[in-house]
Structure 1
Amino acid sequence: MACGGGGGKAGTGWSSLQADLLLSVFALLPSDADRVRFRAVCGAWGGAAAAWPPRPWLVGSRTDRSGRGGGAVSSFWLSPCGGLLPFAANVPAGFEYLSSSRGYIALADPRAPPKAIVLFNPVTGRRIHLPPIAFFKRWLDLTTVVLSADPEAAAEWAAVAVGFPTTCLAYYSSATGAWTRLDFGVPGYAGVEHYNGRFYVAFKSQICVCEVDGDAPAVIPLERVDDADGGDGSDDEERRLRASGRRVVETHLVECDGQLLLISVHDDVVYNSDDDMGGLAVDDGAGSKGGGGGDARAVEVHRVEWLGDDGAVRLVRETDLGWNALFLGRNRAFALSVVEFPACRVNCVYLVDRQGHPDGVVRVLDMENQWARREETICPDDVPCGSSSSAGWARRGWFFPNYG
């Protein structure tokens, strides 16, 4: 459809339609492909569409503990009312969901050994095939793929892939088209973020930088400095958690308002490094609505404060996200401002929980009072809630589309 027309008379062409009317039409379009075409019609239509606030998606695929069963993908919008609305996302059939970053969903074909990553943009339909990661063990559950930039907009870009439990990291460069091994062995989940031109990785309170230039790529721990009086007490908090039997089960790094945040999720669940479906041994008898200690979750946020140019950092406890909301899952995490994205709740954490369970939930935790929580139960049509089937929507995570 062209924007011209109107016989040369001002105000009679398609481009002269009022912006609010164009925006209403744009919001009613049934698919992202239609939204892309809408934006491409002309500058006026693209400008009107730019005022539409995108919504985070929750994406997942069903699999079993042997790694088979992928190919059925579920997708939900986060609604302005706070619920999750199912919709049919433009995701190729036969793939399993792994992670997301920079407007791309990382997918893999579970039927094709060796496992290779396909980056898929559900808005434009573009696919980028990455080579297999030869040094990852077969049983390793690939949880996170973080991109340095949008591959469609950057001349060169890079990616870091992380598995669970972490025996090493994999670094990909678009310039070489190959994966490089970065040794980093931890017994659980590690968080990764690309911040100020570099990749960082964290496990619990340890923060490292990925040095990829030169002949010897490596993951280098940053020196952590606390105040003489114990700083923010995060070391004391770790000792207290260990003494009580509580564990840090997830660690995330998130860029928020130009700052790098270290986020830890802990609870009373027993950590199990042999469970390649998510690493959590959940007490099913604890109840589903926060009624038991084994079902509890708590989120701690620290701001990474840089001390000079020597690489030392200090962790500063944060209890207020301001106008932001955090989206956490067993893949890349991110922060959104509720000013720009009103579907989010202010100063809240959206935590994807119960990985590997058909009746998994999204917990909405209020940072001001984390016991004031809500849950959204995710239960696909073909796996009834409470089912004893070994298959579940185990690979779930947040995705934020890029309509730019």
Structure 2
Amino acid sequence: MAGGGRGGTGWSSLPADLLLAIFALLSSDADRVRFRAVCAAWATAAAAWCPRPWLVGSRTDRSGRGGGTVSSFWLFRPAGAGAALLRPFAATVPEGLDYLSSSRGYLALADPSVSPKAVVLVNPVTGRRVRLPPIGFFKRWLDVTTVVLSADPGGAAEWAAVAVGFPTTSLAYYSSAAGAWARLDFAAPGYAGVEHYSGRFYVAFGSRICALEADGDAPAVIPLERVDDDGADGSDDEPKLPGGSGRRVVETHLVECDGQLLLVSVHDDVVYSSDDDMGGLAVDEGGSKGGGDARAVEVHRVEWLWDGLVRLVRETDLGRNALFLGRNRAFALSAAEFPACRVNCVYLVDRQGHPDGVVRVLDLENPWACREETICPDDATGGSASSAGWARRGWFFPNY
């Protein structure tokens, strides 16, 4: 690497745009990691490359067996094509482990044959592993849905994690300094969303938002008081759609997007009474390929007021961003940086555990434009596709 050219120039002095073009053509993550390790100039050039989001999941048969087989797909948009596709590829994931969720460039995995189960964090790009101790007070380990990290364990002096089960009977808080899990009581009858935002963990179920207070030896979940524009006190934890119609919330997510914290709710079997009811809703009525029940996604921005009060403000425009929702940590990406994404849309992983599971792409701007897509993962299993389902699926964004 020392020399090689006239005028004292060397490999480290190659133009950044040329280095980035070479980096984008590399066929494996291992080669990309080696590329970044060559020198500071190459690492800087590679940092400008925008990786594509993955869909990751563990496959199982109808009896619930067959765990530990992880499949992965790139989300990409072919040149000249309007629809995004999910292309299978072989990610570097340890064999025999089930996929749970993902956060900060790490997959949260567990060995289905070991009891009590413990989470191992794996960066499939760099190969780094971080083993976490078992969570002894979680009784329904097969239903663990989310493990959210505060920072990259490989680069932070101290970091924390929150684990969530389904249905939510408690949360688990892990501190790298303490090296142990602590129980956080948070009783809820369904799926809860978690996000680490502005230096703090937040958890939500329905329209209820809580802050996680981690100071001291006994972490606690503190409800935030909500103020509505109509003067209500925000005590309804499971709101229906506007107009009083439709089913209740079945999934809740907290997502950081452009520096804002969003509360995103997924509604099931939507019934609407007027066009006004649909403002700011992304809707799939189940008519696209793959069929299924109707879905609607509603987005609110969390507006921070005074004395710990918050207000939920309906959002209908995500700008150039797209939301990626699954029963794990959700995230937002900008289509300006990630061309495979459609602007102002929601990529919703649907039908967890079913062989005909799909990804629904819902349009927030105009639900009547029939722009929804249904992306069916094809993992090249051939004839076994009809008998193989997904025990868990979720979005993952790699960290190089």
TM-score by length of 2: 0.88
- Kept after mapping to 1: 8 A contact 2:103/2:329: yes
Secondary structure at 2:36's aligned position in 1? helix
Counterpart residue type for residue 178 of structure 2: T
Paired position in structure 2 for 1:281:
none
Following TM superposition, by how much is the alpha carbon of 1:132 offset from its aligned partner in structure 2, in angstroms?
0.6
From the superposition, tell whether residues 205 and 385 of structure 1 become closer, same or farther in structure 2 (CA, over 3 Å): farther
Paired position in structure 2 for 1:393:
390
Alignment of 1:16-35 (within 5 A): 16-35=13-32
Alignment of 1:4-403 (within 5 A): 4-6=2-4, 9-11=7-9, 13-64=10-61, 68-81=65-78, 82-138=84-140, 140-228=142-230, 238-239=239-240, 244=245, 246-268=247-269, 289=288, 295-308=293-306, 310-370=307-367, 371-382=370-381, 384=383, 387=386, 389=387, 391-403=388-400
Following TM superposition, by how much is the alpha carbon of 1:358 offset from its aligned partner in structure 2, in angstroms?
1.6
CA distance, structure 2, for counterparts of residue 249 and residue 312 of structure 1: 25
Deviations 1:70-90 (A, max 9, x none): 121111111133211111111
Following TM superposition, by how much is the alpha carbon of 1:288 offset from its aligned partner in structure 2, in angstroms?
6.3
Following TM superposition, by how much is the alpha carbon of 1:95 offset from its aligned partner in structure 2, in angstroms?
0.7
From the superposition, tell whether residues 328 and 35 of structure 1 become closer, same or farther in structure 2 (CA, over 3 Å): same
- What percentage of aligned pairs have identical amino acids? 77
Deviations 1:277-300 (A, max 9, x none): xxxxxxxxx9662797x5211110
Alpha-carbon RMSD across the aligned residues, in angstroms, is 2.6
- Kept after mapping to 2: 8 A contact 1:348/1:366: yes
Counterpart residue type for residue 53 of structure 1: C
Q: Which runs of 5+ in 2 are unaligned?
A: 79-83, 271-284
CA distance, structure 1, for counterparts of residue 237 and residue 175 of structure 2: 39
Following TM superposition, by how much is the alpha carbon of 1:215 offset from its aligned partner in structure 2, in angstroms?
4.2
Q: Which runs of 5+ in 1 are unaligned?
A: 270-285
CA distance, structure 1, for counterparts of residue 208 and residue 352 of structure 2: 24
CA distance, structure 2, for counterparts of residue 377 and residue 154 of structure 1: 37
Following TM superposition, by how much is the alpha carbon of 1:382 offset from its aligned partner in structure 2, in angstroms?
3.0
TM-score by length of 1: 0.87
Counterpart residue type for residue 139 of structure 2: K
Deviations 1:102-151 (A, max 9, x none): 11110011011111100001111000000111000145511000000111
From the superposition, tell whether residues 67 and 151 of structure 1 become closer, same or farther in structure 2 (CA, over 3 Å): farther
From the superposition, tell whether residues 147 and 383 of structure 1 become closer, same or farther in structure 2 (CA, over 3 Å): farther
Counterpart residue type for residue 170 of structure 1: A
Mean Cα deviation higher: 368-377 or 129-138:
368-377
Counterpart residue type for residue 336 of structure 2: V
From the superposition, tell whether residues 236 and 56 of structure 1 become closer, same or farther in structure 2 (CA, over 3 Å): closer
CA distance, structure 1, for counterparts of residue 332 and residue 5 of structure 2: 48
From the superposition, tell whether residues 7 and 287 of structure 1 become closer, same or farther in structure 2 (CA, over 3 Å): closer
- Kept after mapping to 2: 8 A contact 1:150/1:157: yes
Following TM superposition, by how much is the alpha carbon of 1:245 offset from its aligned partner in structure 2, in angstroms?
5.2
CA distance, structure 2, for counterparts of residue 369 and residue 234 of structure 1: 30
Counterpart residue type for residue 118 of structure 1: V
- Kept after mapping to 1: 8 A contact 2:88/2:379: no
Secondary structure at 2:225's aligned position in 1? coil
Deviations 1:160-219 (A, max 9, x none): 000111110000000011000001111111000011111110001000111222343221
- Kept after mapping to 2: 8 A contact 1:209/1:220: yes
Mean Cα deviation higher: 71-80 or 199-208:
71-80
Mean Cα deviation higher: 238-247 or 144-153:
238-247
Secondary structure at 1:238's aligned position in 2? coil
- Kept after mapping to 1: 8 A contact 2:238/2:248: no
From the superposition, tell whether residues 185 and 124 of structure 1 become closer, same or farther in structure 2 (CA, over 3 Å): same
Counterpart residue type for residue 128 of structure 2: R
CA distance, structure 2, for counterparts of residue 228 and residue 365 of structure 1: 29
- Kept after mapping to 1: 8 A contact 2:140/2:165: no
**How many residue pairs were aligned?**
379
CA distance, structure 1, for counterparts of residue 247 and residue 313 of structure 2: 22
Secondary structure at 1:33's aligned position in 2? helix
Paired position in structure 2 for 1:283:
none
Deviations 1:281-335 (A, max 9, x none): xxxxx9662797x521111000001111x21111000000011111000100001
From the superposition, tell whether residues 137 and 197 of structure 1 become closer, same or farther in structure 2 (CA, over 3 Å): same
CA distance, structure 1, for counterparts of residue 38 and residue 237 of structure 2: 58
CA distance, structure 2, for counterparts of residue 372 and residue 6 of structure 1: 54
CA distance, structure 2, for counterparts of residue 151 and residue 63 of structure 1: 30
